[in-house]
Chain A
Amino acid sequence: MSITVDISYKSLHKFHEELCGDKVELLKTDTSTILILADGMGSGVKANILATLTSKILGTMFLNGASLEECVQTIVKTLPVCKVRQVAYSTFSILQIFPNKDAYLVEFDNPACVFIRDHALVSLPYMERIIEGKKIRECRFQVEKNDCLILMSDGVIHAGVGKSLNFGWTWDHMANYAAEATKRTLSSSRLVSVLCKACDDLYLHAPGDDTTIAVARIIPAKPVHLFTGPPLNKDEDAYVVSRFMEGDAKKIISGGTSANIVARVLHREIHTTLNYVDPAIPPTATMEGMDLVTEGVLTLTRTLTLMKRYVNEPVDEDFFTELDQLNGGSMIAKILIEDCTDLHLFVGKTINEAHQNPAFPFDLSIRMNLVAGIIDAMKKMGKTVTVEYY
């Protein structure tokens, strides 16, 4: 089974700062996954610019096969020099993982990557070298399925310094906490949430520094097929369903008529329930061979709301409590956020004329917008999305 990298990251802004001085850049290509975490000197706008430049330059150059020397040289020569401190400075970590399980890690002045295998910490075989007068640590190693790698800015290991803890969280304590947490969390998104919450608590909810955590977990590829909307041309029904059923992906049908089409083509029965877990969302149904069958636009609207919250806002335990609800919207969002690496959408473009009713709270022809929103959110989460329209 091929491996893939499940990546999530979150930042806490320094108290009272509108911008974050840490920046995470995630690049996924067919040949490798690159995760970069840069921490710009200072805070606010200046730090944000330094970190953004650093992460973007590293990402773009790495992606195009530049050597580490070239990358560091470019950064040193490009970053604007701080008037006050007379230096241009941003720390960074780069983690590159290849489909053949080779991994390459580069660090400059960031806290060391936490590497967890089977819930235990593993030390990495670092080598040091000097490039452009900067001491850079790098190592090449192999990852295995279920390995977990955590990149962080120094705001994490300093969490709580002078407030709840004399010396802050420290790398050792943070690493042990993370190793322990991998026993309870399966997805990178939950682990990031747990670790960020710990930092925020230690800071007494007023972080003294920009704090960023990026988690990469090595997992088997988890494809999901989502079928929503009846095809414009009824003659294509059977073809769409056969495409939808291909492979061993998780299968979600979102849409009553879509479910009826699948049931008809495959000669299977839909078992609906009248269990209104959430009054705003129609109940889900079951069908042999399907992982989830739901109503369409109302459910997907809820799904998209949750996905947007996940992408755009700091997520806390309340968010995951809502994600664990058994209404169709939460159930789809949970699969897409936590249990999917590659999403394949099968979207029919038929518009239900009866939905064009001014008495309804919104225009139900919004399926296309919902689909576009879901694609956008999935890409922001670093997942692969493909879509077929019918």
Chain B
Amino acid sequence: MEITVCIGSSCHLKGSREVVTKLEYLISNAHLSDKLKLNGCFCTGECAKGVCVKIDGELYSVSPADTEQFFENEVLRRLK
């Protein structure tokens, strides 16, 4: 499964680096590095919804504060 985080200007200012760092930690902590691929991408044109994160093409709006929640609810749910 592939998770793509937007690293464009707008999302960067809304904290995409923190989201990336947290996701990297959560993934390695859950020993899911071989199942989850974390990628960056440039602006997806959805700046208003930033930080834009896509799981296999489906768009989510994530903030640094709710990254754990997003990981638990969306990422782990899909893996089950």
- List chain A positions with a Cβ less than 8 A from chain B: 256-257, 259-260, 270, 272-274, 276, 279, 282-283, 285, 295-298, 352-355, 357, 360-361, 364
Contact = CB atoms under 8 A, between A and B. Distances in A.
A283 B40 contact: yes
A364 B9 contact: yes
A295 B12 contact: yes
Contacts of A360: 13
Given A354-B47, A360-B13, A256 B39 contact: no
11 contacts: A257-B42, A257-B45, A272-B7, A272-B40, A282-B8, A282-B16, A283-B40, A295-B8, A297-B9, A352-B10, A364-B10
B48 A282 contact: no
Interface string B1-36: 000011111101100110010001000000000000
Given A282-B7, A354-B10, 10 more contacts: A256-B43, A257-B8, A272-B7, A274-B5, A279-B17, A283-B7, A296-B9, A354-B50, A357-B10, A361-B13
Contact of A354 (B20, B38, B48): B48
A56 B28 CA distance: 65
Across the A-B interface, the 10 shortest Cβ-Cβ residue pairs: A354-B47, A256-B42, A256-B43, A272-B40, A256-B8, A282-B7, A282-B12, A354-B48, A274-B40, A257-B43
Contacts of B65: none
Contacts of A297: 9
B38 A282 contact: no
B76 interface: no
Residue in B12, B45, B50 whose Cβ sees the most chain A Cβ within 10 Å = B12
The size class of the interface chain B forms with chain A is 20 to 34
Interface of B: 5-10, 12-13, 16-17, 20, 24, 38-43, 45, 47-48, 50
Most buried by A among B8, B10, B42: B42
Nearest to B8: A256
A274 B47 CA distance: 19
B41 A272 contact: yes
Nearest to A360: B13
A274 B9 contact: no
A256 B6 CA distance: 9
B41 A282 contact: no
A350 to B, nearest CB: 11
A306 B5 CA distance: 28
Contacts of B7: 256, 272, 274, 282-283, 295
Nearest to A260: B42
A297 B13 CA distance: 11
Contacts of B17: 276, 279, 282
A357 to B, nearest CB: 8
Contacts of A353: 47-48
- Name the residue among A257, A273, A364 with the largest chain B CB count within 10 angstroms: A257
A257 B24 CA distance: 25
Contacts of B20: 274, 276
A357 B41 CA distance: 21
B9 A298 contact: yes
A228 B73 CA distance: 38
Contacts of B10: 352, 354-355, 357, 364
Nearest to A361: B13
Nearest to A253: B42
B13 A352 contact: no
A274 B42 contact: no
A259 B42 contact: yes
A285 B43 CA distance: 12
Contacts of B13: 298, 360-361
Contacts of A274: 5, 7, 20, 24, 38-40
A261 to B, nearest CB: 10
A298 B16 CA distance: 14
Given A282-B8, A298-B12, A273 B40 contact: yes
